[in-house]
Amino acid sequence: MTVAPAELLARLTEIRATDPDAVHRALAKRRRRPLLERGSLFLIAADHPARGVLKVGADPMAMADRGELLRRLLTALGRPGVDGILGTADIIDDLALLGALEGKVVFGSMNRGGLTGFRFELDDRFTAYTVEGIMAAGLDGGKMMVRVADEAEALRTLASCAHAIDELSARKLPAMIEVFASEVDDGRVRNRADADSLIRAITVVSGLGTTSGYLWLKLPVVDDLDRVMRATTLPTLLLGGDPGDDPAKTFANWKRAMAIPQVRGLVAGRTLLYPKDGDVARAVDAAAAIVAEKGRL
């Protein structure tokens, strides 16, 4: 039965106000599972709000209603073929309280300090999960973002990510690194979509840390992705991104990319949670079918 957003907010706020330890108990008893059960991985991304990204398409505040976001997340996580979620503690804790994380893979999002739209976006501080927090919550891995640019701010993020990769690897937990090739243009950070720039960024990030044994990449789908992926042997998940004006093209790009050996699945958020027709279940099912084909290759 679908629960109304207002009811979700009221229920969760009552628990948080009267029984704050309920979050710890819900996470401690959560049933876990192996990372790869079918050879592929399909995660729902829900860490956008913690960076101040609330926009979907033309609506600048689409993700601002937490109850509505949770309703959509519950729908997505309940669909067959969805392996799990990545998010910040506020979202993960809400979902744990709602019992939505049983048997799911859960990645904690770690660096959210680079608020979108500003130059210091490159200096992406670790303001969310720490490795210790991921362990304490019983999560399955940590996710970071790196915008590789020839700027001092990017260097600090690279160094912090290298340290976090080592800490996660020491605990045999996967580190998922979302990689962008970026530049500063008129005081704002912009991502470059050309293959050469992304290849360079991948080679930089792949060398972070003292071991790459538990390292995964999360990459945007760009033109000439086959050539881009020849830059690495690391298992890679595709980035969903903003749905844009042509979701059919987005799905077709995902389907083609699944034929690349290094591509092992998909991490998508806004494209699936806020589809143009409003049918979250149908969007998620279509994406799950694409990832399932990868698992059968």
Task: Quote the pLDDT of residue 5.
Answer: 94
The angle subtended at Cα 105 by Cα 102 and Cα 108, nearest 5°, is 110
pTM: 0.96
8 A C-beta contact, residue 219 and residue 202: yes
In this structure, the strands spanning 141-148 and 215-219 are unpaired
Task: Quote the pLDDT of residue 247.
Answer: 86
Task: Quote the pLDDT of residue 132.
Answer: 98
Task: Quote the pLDDT of residue 187.
Answer: 82
Domain that holds residue 56: 5-296
CATH number of the domain within which 224 lies: 3.20.20.70
d(CA 97, CA 84): 16
Into how many domains does the chain fold? Answer: 1
Task: Quote the pLDDT of residue 1.
Answer: 57
Task: Quote the pLDDT of residue 297.
Answer: 60
In terms of Cα–Cα distance, which of 275, 292, 293, 291 is closest to 75? 275
8 A C-beta contact, residue 209 and residue 190: no
User: How much of the chain is helix, strand and coil, in % rounded to 5?
Assistant: 40, 20, 40
User: Three-state secondary structure along 18-57?
Assistant: HCCCHHHHHHHCCCCCCCCCCCCEEEEEECCHHHCCCCEC
Task: Quote the pLDDT of residue 295.
Answer: 64
**CB neighbour class for 124 (10 Å; exposed up to 12, middle 13-18, buried from 19):** buried
pLDDT tens by residue, the chain, 297 residues: 578 999 999 999 999 999 999 999 999 999 999 999 989 999 999 999 999 999 998 899 999 999 999 999 999 999 999 999 999 999 999 999 999 999 999 999 999 999 887 778 999 999 999 999 999 999 999 999 999 999 999 999 999 999 999 999 999 999 999 999 999 988 889 999 999 999 999 999 999 999 999 999 999 999 999 999 999 999 999 998 776 668 889 999 999 999 999 999 999 999 999 999 999 999 999 999 999 988 666
Task: Quote the pLDDT of residue 3.
Answer: 85
8 A C-beta contact, residue 215 and residue 168: no
**CB neighbour class for 237 (10 Å; exposed up to 12, middle 13-18, buried from 19):** buried
